[in-house]
Every structure is written in structure tokens, then in C-alpha cells.
């Protein structure tokens, strides 16, 4: 069976950046299982998955626009440290949950501290990154009506 929308797909993958640094991999673990065509994975990889079959191995280079988007400068802000009430010691790399201007939950990371000024970044950590995938398709099956209705694999 070839991958089509509403297929349940299992893959092993290795994800690298343009420099070849491994970002994530399923090697040595369970394969990634997802419902094709409903946005469970990034759009660029979802497009590359179509028509593949169990046993297929392929590489795909996904541009930021088809992955986690470009860096949005509006999501980088400098705030006073007093905005982080209840946190004893702020450090670069700390992550917090916040709300976007549209009211959506986002995760922000402290990227710089200069005295009382704390710079945060609300972009996805992979925003602006060209993604290089090595993929092996393990299995493909038709999704159940319940999986299609719920938008994820059961």
C-alpha cells in the first residue's frame, strides 16, 4: 500500500541541519507513527511522504517555509526581569509558556540577559532552519474512521 491522505504511517527518520548536525532521530527507538494529510508532521515532509511504500528509503530537504517557518522578529522581545515574577534566578536557555499577541500559547526562551533587560525569543527553535531528513518507511495502513475523525493515530 502506498502512502495517501488518511494513511497511518510508521517511519524511522534522522533529522539534521544543513551542517549535518543531528537534531533528532528515531534510531534505536520506536518508529514515528502519524496520520498522513492532517498536519501531524511538517507540511514539506508530509508532501514528500505521498506515494511512498513500506521499505522505501529517501532523503528530503525541507525549506523553513515548509517546516517551522522563518524567524519572526516580532517574537523577539526585551522585557524587564520583573516580568518574570516568582523566578529566583533567570538564565539564558530557560523556557517559559506565554501567550502570543493573538492569545495563542507559545513557548519562549531567554536568549540574552543584560542587567535588568531579559531578551526572549518566541520563535520555534527550528524556525529558519533548512531541515535534512533521512527516512525509511516501515509500514502503511488505512486509517480507521475514528482515527480520521479524531485527526490522529490510535
The CATH number linked to 98 is: 2.40.10.330
Print the domain residue range for 16: 7-68+127-150
**140 and 95 both lie in a single domain:** no
Digit-coded pLDDT (tens) for 115-134: 999 999 999 999 999 999 99
Digit-coded pLDDT (tens) for 50-61: 999 999 999 999
* Mean pLDDT (whole number) for 92-118: 90
**63 and 137 both lie in a single domain:** yes
**41 and 15 both lie in a single domain:** yes
| Contact of 75 with 119, CB cutoff 8 Å | no
**112 and 78 both lie in a single domain:** yes
Using a pLDDT cut of 90, give the percent of the chain over it.
88
The CATH number linked to 29 is: 3.10.50.40
pLDDT at residue 9 in the model: 98
Count up the domains in the chain and report the number: 2
Q: In which band, very low, low, confident or very high, does the pLDDT at 72 lie, cut at 50, 70 and 90?
A: very high
Evaluate whether residue 132 is within a structural domain.
yes
**32 and 56 both lie in a single domain:** yes
* Mean pLDDT (whole number) for 70-85: 92
pLDDT at residue 105 in the model: 86
Is the per-residue pLDDT at 101 higher than 80? Answer: no
Give the dihedral of Cα atoms 62, 100, 121, 125; nearest 10 deg: -30
Distances (CA, A) of 112 to 29, 80, 98, 107, 123: 35, 12, 17, 16, 15
Taking the C-alpha atoms of residue 76 and residue 59, their distance in angstroms, rounded to an integer, is 33
**27 and 99 both lie in a single domain:** no
Amino acid at each position: 500500500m502506498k502512502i495517501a491522505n488518511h494513511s497511518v504511517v510508521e517511519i524511522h527518520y534522522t533529522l539534521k541541519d544543513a551542517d549535518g548536525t543531528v537534531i533528532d532521530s528515531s534510531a534505536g527507538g520506536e518508529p514515528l507513527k502519524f496520520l498522513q494529510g492532517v498536519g501531524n508532521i511538517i507540511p514539506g515532509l508530509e508532501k514528500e511522504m505521498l506515494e511512498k511504500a513500506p521499505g522505501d528509503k529517501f532523503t528530503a530537504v525541507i525549506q523553513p517555509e515548509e517546516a517551522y517557518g522563518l524567524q519572526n522578529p516580532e517574537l523577539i522581545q526585551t522585557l524587564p526581569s520583573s516580568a518574570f515574577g516568582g523566578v529566583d534566578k533567570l538564565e539564558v536557555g530557560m523556557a517559559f509558556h506565554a501567550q502570543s499577541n493573538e492569545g495563542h500559547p507559545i513557548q519562549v526562551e531567554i536568549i540574552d540577559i543584560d542587567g535588568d533587560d531579559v531578551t526572549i525569543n518566541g520563535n520555534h527553535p527550528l524556525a529558519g532552519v533548512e531541515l535534512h531528513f533521512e527516512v525509511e518507511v516501515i509500514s502503511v495502513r488505512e486509517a480507521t474512521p475514528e482515527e480520521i475523525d479524531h485527526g490522529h493515530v490510535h
